[in-house]
Amino acid sequence: MDRAWRYVVVWDGWVRMFHWSVVLLIMLSYFTARAGNWKLHFFSGYSILALVLFRLAWGLFGSESARFGSFIRSPVRVYSYLRDMRTPGSDTHVTHNPAGAWMVVAMLVILLSQVGTGLIADPDDFVVRGPFARMVDSTISYSAYGLHARNFILLLTAIGLHVAAIIAYRVFKGHNLLVAMLTGRKKLPYDIAEPRATSMLRGAVIFAVIAGAVFALSRFGAAA
């Protein structure tokens, strides 16, 4: 007997806001660095920091599909999922699939590393240095500059893999992950429960607190 299908919301507005805002801010960070617009570059970095911290908090207290406990699976599950990657089939995941889940974790770690090294980086060229570079040893700040540059290459590699995975899901399995992240909706069988959503107001409060803390950090860095 064929299964009945329906469209349900799997990604709330906060998850989608995080995803697309980070996409735009990564581009902003790159082009402002190329142009030497360091004021806007640091603004972009602090904004990414606020978003990543919010995503970590939302992964603990947010909607069911956004919580890390709902989508992080063991390496064995990831291997099993990837082994069947080329087998067509309906997308019945109400959150990230096992492989995509670890990509999310990797991206969060890479983004935190990028911001963290940028805050204390000092290339020792008398052009620009991170707002907290004065607070660490010069050897550490110079090393952070090198890590900041290399980590960006790692970030671009991760983005490339992410895009390639989206294309592969579309080609081999017929899954349109891009539309789901744009609209928040996915076609799922009726017998799969819709993920529980958390109040958008809770997200607003969490985001406001984190954004306020990051803003205070930026003022402290500017005065350092």
Q: How far is CA 149 from CA 64, 116, 126, in A?
A: 36, 12, 17
Beta bridge partners of 143: none
Q: What's the average model confidence in pLDDT over 90-119?
A: 92
Domain boundaries defined on the chain: 5-223
The model's pLDDT over 162-178, given as tens digits with 9 standing for 90+, comes to 999 899 888 888 888 89
Query: What is the reported pLDDT for 223?
Result: 65
Q: Is the pLDDT of residue 61 over 60?
A: yes
Closest to 94 in 3D by CA, of 167, 165, 191: 191
CATH architecture assignment, domain 5-223: Up-down Bundle (1.20)
Confidence of residue 4 (pLDDT cuts 50, 70, 90): confident
